[in-house]
Amino acid sequence: MHQKNQQYLLRFISVIFLIFADFISSSLSAYVDEQYASCAPLSTTCGPSLEIEYPFWDINRPDYCGHPGFELECQGNSLTLHMQDQIYNVLDINNKSNTLTISKPQFSQGPCPTTKSELTNTTLDFSLFAFTSTSENATLFYDCQRKPDLIAPFSFTCPQSSYDPESSSTFTSPLNFIAIDEKWKVELRKICTIEIDIPVFKTQVSDLVNGHTNINDVVSKGFELKWTIDESQCKSCIGSEGRCGFNHTLSRPICLCDRGVYNTTCAQSNALAGVPMISPGTDEKNPNTNTNTNTKTNTIGVVVGAVTGAILLSLLIFFCQRKYKKIQSTGPLGPPTILTRAFSTTLDPNASSYFGVELLSYSVLEEATDSFNPAKELGAGGFGMVYHGILKDGREVAVKRLYENNNKRAEQFLNEVEILANLRHKNLVNLYGCTSRQSRELLLVYEYVPNGTVADHLHGKNAKLGLLRWPIRLRIATETASALVYLHDSDIIHRDVKTQNILLDKDFSVKVADFGLSRLFPLDVTHISTAPQGTPGYLDPEYHQCYQLTEKSDVYSFGVLLAELISSKPAVDITRRRADINLCNMLISKIQNNTLDEFIDNFLEFQFDLKVKKEIKAVAGLAFQCLQSTRELRPTMKEVLERLCNIKDHEDKIDSPEEVDIPKDYVFMLKDDFSPDSSSIDESSVRTLVPHAGV
């Protein structure tokens, strides 16, 4: 009888094995084919003539069919592009010259929007796009009180319904102008209350001057951009009968083939059965090698694991039937990792913290923020909206509500909790708590810092209050440097140092915030190789070009922050002349041309105070050192902090900018005018750790 039972058991296990093997093999193969098919055809058409090809992709397709930042929405004959929180109408796409023509919807019929709120400067993602030589900036002036004293530039009037002297949301005067020449702009700024810059075609301006067109056509016909990403790999993929795609995990292009996913081109055999995207185990040193070996190994592992599970399940059923016992397995199979601990915490009904951080329920935070009332909004970050709230114990808090459409929000959530949980520094924002990962939403709870950001006070909503005198600005620089030194000593790179992430308390003391992009930096390595992520205008050019993240990347960003503190200008401003869009370029140019005084904010009154003038110029010299394009030439954050302390104590030995020997050709321009206020490239989950020599 015992032998007969064994035969039945073996037959049962064999059947289960065959069923599982066949099911897994066919399912994985079908998944790969589905990716290839879902990105067909190579191009689609919107309306009568707008052809959408990679890197662009229609939002109705999976996101791996196109490059991040190139998503388009087609509705009828209308095609729109979302960029930098603005919407643009796409008028033309030329896939041969890599150019597209776009316009702002509010100007589709001319320069007269319905309300003032529609008047916004054009912001573009200069990590992906650049202006072509066919475009130039025009300035539209509204609510002008009279005609200028000079020969009047081109004027226009808006419909009667567009202005109302008694309304704050509409225009108060029908007198408006468009100006190209700088002398007109200077004159119009004296008599007009509103101005915005809008890119236009140079040919349209020429036709306007010659009387061959009107202002409506000038603004409605838009302007031309060129996309600047490298598409050579895509062409190779298409040449091998593949379809171009993008791996958001590794943040790089891939080739979707009929039998699998490859790095560059479709191989003629051994497709990557069952891998929806390139495996995290991809060999980064040999990017042209497909990942068949790793994937086949993974596939075999999946099949073997599943079959083993089926056998164990069969044995369990068999012995349960024979002995009428419930067999329980106990004990983990290996040491828990950070993520497994986090997951296990969420499953534990008695858990009260993550990594020592208090767990708060969604309902508690919903009540604290008055159901996330829009009136409680403090501002929007890169990964979520921040709300003011008051807990039941009376604590004022800032609650970050991670965006639902952020597919990496769980990773950023855990990253910020893990990093902030063990940090204690007077100039770092405190993390009070968070929700469980099984909560209705992912929420992070910080101490409330009431005085806004440094950006608000330098060039934002609080700039006109004039609260940041020079001693306060120097203290902000010193305290921020102290916080960054502490982070670097803790093997953490902030990676998004900018004035928007420097909070100020009621005494204008610094609280460095927003650690969603920060990285724990392993010991005994010189850098981490990872896709660039952060805010354009602050990004280390070597990090942007070579994908190598080091502590010196924070130093570069801090140099931009110093430039903002002495100038009160934003890090990126497309309304400035082309060479000065990036603030770091402007600073170095002013130093090179011995015109630093033009760069410094007149509000600081440095011309009348020799002590302030000396300190500001010393800080400018330090900023120059931090902004060196070669990271080895930059100081460490410890050296930066020491020098700032010396400047405060009047013991600084740094050369003032006039004494720095700068070659005429030194002023470095970032490639592709990398500029706009906030765009980020998806981070790679694969890191290459480069050991120190001798390790």
What is the b/e burial string over 38-53, where b = at least 16 CB atoms within 10 angstroms of the residue's CB?
ebeeeebebeeebebb
Q: How far is CA 303 from CA 16, 188, 292, 306, 309, in A?
A: 12, 73, 16, 5, 10
Contact 422, 355 (CB under 8 A): yes
Extract the runs of DSSP E, i.e. beta strands, from 426-552.
Answer: 431-434, 443-447, 492-493, 502-504, 510-512, 519-520, 525-529, 548-549
Q: Quickly tell me which residue has 């906030």 as its tokens.
A: 678
Q: Which amino acid is at 602?
A: N
Q: Which amino acid is located at 518 in the chain?
A: S
Helix (H, G, I), strand (E, B) or coil at 662: coil
Nearest CA among 224, 197, 183, 222 for reference residue 137: 197
Residue indicated by tokens 């009136």 = 375
Q: Which residues contact 207 (CB under 8 A, 6 or more apart)?
A: 213, 217, 218
SS3 529: strand
Q: What are phi and psi of 547, to 5 degrees?
A: 60, 30
Pairing of strands 519-520, 688-691: unpaired
The sign of the dihedral angle between the CA atoms of 407, 411, 414, 418 is negative
Residues with Cβ within 8 Å of 187's Cβ and at least 6 positions away in sequence, in order, are 148, 149, 150
Catalytic residue, chosen from 125, 456, 496, 514, is: 496
CA distances from 324 to 7, 12, 317, 321 (A): 21, 20, 10, 5
Q: Compute the radius of gyration of the chain from its Cα atoms.
A: 29
Rounded to 10°, the helix 338-347/409-421 angle is 100
94: helix, strand or coil: strand
Cα(296)–Cα(374) distance, integer angstroms: 51
Assess whether 496 carries a catalytic annotation. yes
* Beta pairing partners, 141: 177, 195
CA 569, CA 68: separation in Å to the nearest integer?
Answer: 29
What are the structure tokens assigned to 113, written together? 């929007």
Residue 576's contacts (CB-CB under 8 Å, 6 or more residues apart) are 586
Q: Crossing angle, helix 637-648 and helix 610-626, to 10 degrees?
A: 170
- Report the relative pairing of strands 43-46 and 50-53 from DSSP bridges: antiparallel
Picking from 458, 517, 457, 448, the residue whose alpha carbon sits closest to that of residue 679 is 517
Q: β-pairing, 99-103 with 86-94?
A: antiparallel
**How do 396-402 and 431-434 pair as beta strands?**
unpaired
Question: Are 280 and 264 a contacting pair, CB within 8 Å?
Answer: no
| Phi/psi at 189 (5° precision) | -65, -20
Instruction: Please tell me whether 400 is known to bind a ligand.
Output: yes
Q: What is the DSSP letter of 64?
A: G
C-alpha of 161 from chain center: 39
What is the rounded distance in angstroms from the CA atom of residue 129 to the CA atom of residue 144? 34
SS3 555: helix
Interacting residues of 475 by C-beta distance below 8 A, sequence separation 6+? 508, 509, 510, 648
Q: Which residues are annotated as a binding site for ATP?
A: 400
Catalytic residues: 496
